[in-house]
Amino acid sequence: MPNRKKSQKRKIRVRVNSPVRVVVFFLAPALLIYIGFVIYPVLTVFRLCFFRWHGVTRGTEEFIGFENFVKLAHDPVFWRSLTNNIILLVFVIVISVSVALFFAFHLARKIRGSRFYRATWLFPNMLGDVIVATIWLFIYHPTIGMLNYFLKLIGIDIGATPWLGQSSTALYAVSMPMIWKFTGLYIILFLAAIQEIPQSYLDAARIDGASTWQEFSHVVLPLIRPTIAVAVVFLMWNSFSVIFTYVKLLTEGGPHRSTEVLPTYIYQVGFEYHEFGYGAAISVTAFILIFALAAVVLRMLMARVVRGEKGF
Amino acid sequence: MFLQRFKDSAFFVILQIVCLAYSLFVLIPVLWSFMSSFRSSIEFFTNPFGLPSVWKYQNFIYAWKQGNVGVYFRNSVFITTVCVTIIILLSAMASFAVSRLKFRGRITALFLFISGLFVPAALLILPLFLMLQDLHILGTYAGLIPVYVAYSFPFTVFVLVPFFNVIPQDLEEAAFLDGASYHQIFWKVMIPLAKPGLIVATIFNIFGIWNEFVLGYVLISKKSLKTLPLGLADILMKQHYTADYGKLFAAIVIALAPVAIIYIIFQRKLTGRLLEGAIKE
């Protein structure tokens, strides 16, 4: 049976290396675009940070070593942006993660209307940042805004407060739309993780007389910690694009740089001051600051993606 | 016993009130935007919160034509369709390669893609701008499309690879025994079985591209090429001078309508178990 033999040969071929042309055909298109438009710019930014360049004519780049970084260390606007960036991130993460944990924990205990709540709460996450920013710009409007109207309604009449226009409140005002947008996604993610917890664990805790709070802090929280870590880190990396959009549209970094953050400052340094080398140095600093954290999480993620492919 | 029961039910009533309050916090701004899109400019100041006294649907016509939203909308549909098609096709092929083919450097390739999850595009606006300028594709779709596609690979591959991983080896071997080629295996065995993952990845990419702002803001400057988020940002910045709020919100509603429709159709898939596969330790 020659036919049979041929098939067996084929079967063996599955276990050895796949033909090169097949690998190239399936992998190369994505890999090449990815290397060209993601990896290459990363390398460029690490090279550009050692040059002084206005970014127009090629060949006028001037190598200046670490001068950009020296300048950076003495640039109060850079430090202001960095601090604002960190405050904004920590504020958004702490508030949205705690609120999400509260709702996810209670939704998991099967309260009535859970499906409606999930659908409603996730919805803002589907809206674009520009739309969300616009809506919140009007919520904060000093005279016709919902926030001041609502405060007046419940008896807190503080007049036409310009939430985005005063340094004391602007940064927190910018963070609210992000919290509004992200909390729903966190609720859904945490809920999925909590529902994975075997019922027997929770039953055991209840038999031992654990209170609801103990059940949450001693059983649920430790078991979903990895999910929280992954979700938080994802938000942090996404956050640069997100933060850029809200700051750009809501405050333009003002008043008096009180909402300036790293990506908006990079944009300004590059496209308004035409100091591309200096802008690259700010990018590189941001990259390095988040790199250590990335290494840890990346290993966790790789472990997850690679796992379960034994046998081929 | 009775006291305990009373306490329990009181707790659940409070919980429901809290959940409803949070739902209102989420819904009221959206509903208010919807009503505002029918409000006249004067009513924004005289009656900003009630129902509009006259439902001024002309806002939509004005936004669509004079406000250029029609052009932005068509551009967004075009860019989203083209980008998502390329993203899903190439990501599925690459995920198949790193998941099912055997070759040296397989893990390296996977690592390269996944590590892209930690490359914030907003930190790369300067080199991207310079690179497209060098290639003479700055401010064109020939520049924007590959950039959108490239930055969508990490997440899409990350979502798809686990779906390819769990497809049983036997099916692949059986297909081989029947004399199927790699291409046939990819299209006839892998794609149908990875469909749930492909659907989730498609939806998330549609939302992602439809809403993308930062890269477009840096790379596109011509009004006729702007997508909805870029156009909306334009209209918004102009509002500081004209205060034509009704038209602004008509534009907002036009931009969020497709997203809302897709969300309502696939809402169960997104809030249910499928998302789990995407982000879970």
CATH code at B223? Answer: 1.10.3720.10
Q: What confidence category does residue A6 fall into, taking pLDDT thresholds of 50, 70 and 90?
A: very low
What's the CA angle centered on B218, arms A245 and A130, to 5 degrees? 25
**Lowest mean per-residue pLDDT among A120-124, A214-218, B80-84:** A214-218
- Selected residues 60-89 of chain A with any CB under 8 Å from a CB in chain B: none
Question: Do B25 and B117 fall within a single domain?
Answer: no
pLDDT at A235: 76
Highest average pLDDT, of A94-98, A207-211, A252-256, comes from A94-98
Mean pLDDT, range B202-206, rounded to an integer: 90
* Residues B170 and B32 both lie in one domain: no
Q: Which two tokens stand for residue B269?
A: 């898939």
For residue B256, the chain A residues in CB contact (below 8 A) are 127-128, 131
DSSP class per residue in chain B: -HHHHHHHHHHHHHHHHHHHHHHHHHHHHHHHHHHHTT--TTHHHH-SSS--SS--THHHHHHHHTT-HHHHHHHHHHHHHHHHHHHHHHHHHHHHHHHH---TTHHHHHHHHHHGGG--GGGGHHHHHHHHHHTT-TTSHHHHHHHHHHHHHHHHHHHHHHHHHTS-HHHHHHHHHTT--HHHIIIIIIHHHTHHHHHHHHHHHHHHHHH--HHHHHH---GGG--HHHHHHHHHHHHHHH--HHHHHHHHHHHHHHHHHHHHHHHHHHHSSHHHHHS--
Both B156 and B264 in a single domain? Answer: yes
Q: Kindly provide the ipTM of the predicted complex, given to two decimals.
A: 0.87
Closest by CA to B123, choosing from A51, A241, A257, A35, is A241
A46: nearest CA partner in chain B? B127
Domain residue limits, chain A: 90-260
Residue B271 pLDDT class (50, 70, 90 cuts): low
Which residues share a beta bridge with A51? A63
Domain assignment of residue B126, yes or no: yes
Residue B64 is assigned to a structural domain of this protein: no
* pLDDT tops 60 at residue A41: yes
Q: How far apart are CA A200 and CA A196, in angstroms?
A: 11
Q: Which DSSP letter does residue A157 get?
A: -
Amino acid at B85: T
Q: Dump pLDDT digits (tens) for A254-301.
A: 788 888 899 999 999 999 999 999 999 999 998 888 776 667 666 766
Count of alpha carbons within 13 angstroms of residue B147, beta-carbon side: 30
Residue B41 lies in a domain: no
pLDDT for position A307: 52
Q: What is the pLDDT of residues A23-39, one digit of tens each?
A: 999 999 999 999 999 99
Q: Are the beta carbons of A304 and B281 separated by less than 8 Å?
A: yes
Chain A residues touching B79 at Cβ < 8 A:
none
Which range of A48-62, B22-36, B72-86, B246-260 scores highest in mean pLDDT? It is: B72-86
- Asked if residue B37 lies in contact with residue B60, where contact means CB atoms within 8 angstroms, the answer is yes
Looking at residue B42, its pLDDT comes to 77
pLDDT for position A1: 40
Taking 50 as the threshold, does the pLDDT of residue B241 lie above it? yes
Residue B102, both tokens: 């055997």
Between chains, do B232 and A131 touch, taking CB under 8 Å as contact?
Answer: yes
pLDDT in tens, B7-46: 778 888 888 999 999 999 999 999 988 888 888 777 777 7
Q: Are residues B157 and B263 in the same domain?
A: yes
Of the given ranges (A182-186, A212-216, B125-129), which has the lowest mean pLDDT? Answer: A212-216
Domain that holds residue B215: 71-278
Q: Is residue B245 part of a domain?
A: yes
Q: Hey, CA dihedral for B112, B116, B117, B119, is it positive or negative?
A: positive
CATH architecture label of A90-260: Orthogonal Bundle (1.10)
- Residue B43 inside a domain? The answer is no
- Taking the C-alpha atoms of residue A202 and residue A220, their distance in angstroms, rounded to an integer, is 8
Specify the number of domains making up chain B. Answer: 2
Q: Return the CA Rg of chain A.
A: 26
The larger pLDDT score, comparing residue A173 to residue A153, is at: A173
Contact B129, A270 (CB under 8 A): yes
In a domain, B247, yes or no: yes
- Residue B81 and residue B6 share a domain: no
Of the candidates A16, A115, A86, A211, the residue with the CA atom closest to the CA atom of residue B268: A115
Model confidence pLDDT, tens digit, residues A81-94: 999 988 998 899 88
- All residues of chain A having their beta carbon less than 8 Å from the beta carbon of residue B119 are 38, 42, 237
